[in-house]
Amino acid sequence: MVPCVIFEDEHLLVVVKPAGWNTHAPSPYAGEGIYDWLRHREARWATLAILHRLDKETSGLLVFGKTPLANRSLTEQFARHRVRKQYLLLTDRAVPEKEFTVKSSLLRVGEKYASRSGGEIAETKFTPVADSELKTQNSKLKTVSASPLTGRTHQIRVHAAESGFPILGDTLYGGTASSRVFLHAAEIAFAHPATNEQLKFSAPVDFAAEPRQALRAAIMDPDATSAFRVIHGASDGWPGWFVEKLGDFLLSQSEASLNARQSGELSRLARTFASRGVYHKTLSRQVRRSTTTEVSPPLVFGEAAPGRFEILENGVRYELSFREGYSVGLFLDQRDNRRRLLTGHLAADFPQLPTSDFQLLNCFAYTCGFSVCAAKAGARTTSLDLSKKYLEWGRRNFLLNGLDPSLHDFIYGDTFDWLRRLAKKGCAFDAIVLDPPTFSQSREHGVFRVEKNFGDLVAAALPVLKPGGVLLASTNAVEWPPEKFLASVDSAVRIAGRKILKRHYVPQPPDFPVSRAEPAYLKTAWVKIH
């Protein structure tokens, strides 16, 4: 079970949304909201419906409907104000000593809302909370309970600000800048749509918790996954700096040496995760001109990792190493896509992958992560890469997971060359993975630049994709807009005389949060082709 899920039955899914995550994606190519991520994660959640929303920086309880009955019942209960909700907020301003209610009409004014005549009626009851009832680290902060008697956008935020105590972190409404908006949906109560039983859910709040760690804790089952991104640049308040947890170790990455503030944060993170050692990689464009030793990340402090060590991802084991060059053996931003091959559920409204008589071709296979997941699901896999070292690494990943590599194919060579050979042999695959580097060079094909040549790659792969087969097309080219990436795929399919039956676009996972300061870079399309 995903940690953020606290209740599920035939009709309902109740989750605790962390701060910093949208309820749903704000635009087609933005990062997924919690709704999108859940809906595309499990087949049984494919029909989830949004019944109410929380702002991105508000944490707490969300209820999703799973059946038409639940959707109708909860929609009616919300409309008739029969759903009871309680929020908790922090403020650094003075608050009234007694309970009081604010009632006004709210109207949108620019980016925010304000009490204006002609708007929709909003009513909120505020109750001060004694310090003994909810401890905070700062005695100057006051806790207030807010019960919205209506469900208008931003109504608690507006009413708190207009009453003289804007919420801490809510700079849009005059609050003091902080690490998040300190507003939490703590309780929700309603009648069960099928039984009419009165249900009440509670989600305790820890306002002292670090927001970015709370987001990761909401989506990562520690028993199944031990590798994820901890800090993702400006989205997490650290422009140009990235940190990953890789099992018992941390890997820091930036274009410069660590500064004192970053070193202090790494020490704190090492204590938080009980990390044995911390490494730092200097990001560089001159990797191909350097030796393996020069580009391997050095140890910063703590215990050195063994030459090879294991991590877990969705219950799958992978071998990593800090001694094999620039890359450690697994790209964590593809975790959700690997899981799709592991479960066969690609997305809501997308046909399930078969579990038998299924053949996968993994081009640019690297250490064969996609192949391992497909093989665990029952597929026969072919992994193709220009590096013998990485294919051997891939074989070891198969063995780590109890898979016999002799039952699968590992092909050393240029992808374009081998796609032609496979087509001449009449080979056909049910699914093909195309996740090339942004730039590569081979003796057979010459220079490959993803923005220029991705369409050529798709065209070369189509002759060995069965009718009704699925193509995974992916790139991390930062400057390439998703619209142009998808257009290159569409154009190649059309020119080949094939037809796209279904397409699902996937951005990067939630531990790589997308923001204006840190735009999305990973672009993936799952495409079913006639």
The CATH number assigned to the domain holding 300 equals 3.30.750.80
Same domain, 119 and 54: yes
Kindly report the pTM of this predicted structure: 0.93
Question: For tokens 């109890």, what's the residue?
Answer: 402
Q: 208 in a domain, yes or no? A: no
> Is it the case that residue 164 has pLDDT exceeding 90?
yes
Residue 298 in any domain: the answer is yes
Q: What is the pLDDT of residue 355?
A: 81
Beta bridge partners of 433: 362, 472
Backbone angles phi, psi at 232, to 5 degrees: -120, 75
Show which of 150, 173, 202 is a domain's final residue: 202
Please provide residue 294's backbone torsions phi and psi, each rounded to the nearest 5 degrees: -65, -35
Helix axes 450-461, 482-495, angle to 10 degrees: 30
How many domains, in total, are found in the chain?
3
Which residue from 298, 293, 304, 308 is spatially nearest to 249, judged by alpha carbons?
304
Residue range 259-271: mean pLDDT, rounded = 97
Query: Does 307 share its domain with 340?
Result: no
Rounded to the nearest 10°, the torsion over CA 185, 186, 190, 193 is 70
Output the average pLDDT for the chain: 94
Question: 8 near 484, Cβ under 8 Å?
Answer: no
Among residues 202, 235, 251, the one where a domain terminates is 202
Pairing between strand 142-148 and 84-91? antiparallel
> In terms of domains, do 28 and 121 share one?
yes
Q: What is the pLDDT of residues 32-73, one digit of tens each?
A: 999 999 999 999 999 999 999 999 999 999 999 999 999 999
The percentage of residues in the chain with a pLDDT greater than 90, rounded to a whole number, is 90
Q: Which residues contact 195 (CB under 8 A, 6 or more apart)?
A: none
Please write down the long-range contacts of 385-390, taking CB distance under 8 Å and 24 or more positions apart.
Answer: 385/411, 385/412, 386/412, 386/413, 386/414, 386/415, 386/440, 386/442, 387/412, 388/412, 389/324, 390/365, 390/366
Whether residue 110 is contained in a domain is answered as yes
Q: How far apart are the first and last CA of the chain?
A: 35
Q: Mean pLDDT throughout 250-271? A: 96
Residue 293 has pLDDT above 90, yes or no: no
**Beta strand 198-202 pairing with 227-232:** unpaired
Q: Which tens digits make up the pLDDT trace of 383-410?
A: 999 999 999 999 999 999 999 999 999 9
Are 71 and 192 contained in the same domain? yes
Residue 129 maps to a domain? yes
Contact status, residue 434 vs residue 455, Cβ threshold 8 Å: no
DSSP state of 303: P
Task: Answer yes or no: do 301 and 348 share one domain.
Answer: no
Per-residue pLDDT band at 137 (split at 50, 70, 90) = low
In a domain, residue 491? The reply is yes
Judge if 351 and 490 occupy the same domain.
Answer: yes
Q: Which two tokens stand for residue 246?
A: 């890789």
Residues 159 and 224 reside in one and the same domain: no
Q: Is 50 exceeded by the pLDDT of residue 86?
A: yes
The pLDDT-based confidence of 132 (bands split at 50, 70, 90) is very low
At 87, which CATH number?
3.30.2350.10
Of 265-279, 293-307, 434-448, which one has max mean pLDDT? 265-279
Predicted local distance difference test score (pLDDT) of residue 131: 64
pLDDT tens-place string over residues 205-230: 999 999 999 999 999 999 999 999 99
Among candidate residues 55, 385, 430, 435, the one labeled active-site is 55
pLDDT digits (tens, 9 = 90+) for 326-365: 899 999 999 999 999 999 999 999 999 998 889 999 999 9
Q: Are residues 359 and 292 part of one domain?
A: no
Whether residues 438 and 505 share a domain: the answer is yes
Neighbouring-strand partners of residue 473: 434, 525
In a domain? residue 520: yes
Residues 226 and 155 in one domain: no
Which position has the higher pLDDT, 139 or 56?
56
- 6 pLDDT band, cuts 50/70/90, is very high
CA 440 distance to own-chain centroid? 28
Query: If we measure between CA atoms, which residue out of 283, 273, 281, 277 comes closest to residue 298?
Result: 281
- 252 against 291, higher pLDDT: 252
**80-94, 126-140, 475-489: least confidently modelled range:** 126-140
55 is catalytic: yes
Dist. CA 480–CA 478, nearest whole Å:
6
Contacting residues for 394 by C-beta, under 8 A, at least 6 apart:
365, 366, 367, 368, 371, 372, 383, 385, 405, 410
Burial level of 197, CB count in 10 A (0-12/13-18/19+)? exposed
Dihedral sign for Cα atoms in the order 35, 347, 520, 221: positive
- What is the rounded average pLDDT of the residues 177-191? 97
Q: From 202, 229, 257, give the residue that closes a domain.
A: 202
Q: Are 126 and 99 in contact (CB under 8 A)?
A: yes
Q: Which domain holds residue 307?
A: 220-312
CATH code for the domain of 336: 3.40.50.150
Looking at the structure, tell me whether residues 177 and 53 fall in a common domain. yes
Report yes or no on 211 lying in a domain: no
CB 251 within 8 A of CB 336: no
Q: Residue 465: inside a domain, yes or no?
A: yes
Q: Which residues pair with 2 in a beta bridge?
A: none
pLDDT band for position 133 (50/70/90)? very low
Q: Say if residue 372 is in the same domain as residue 489.
A: yes
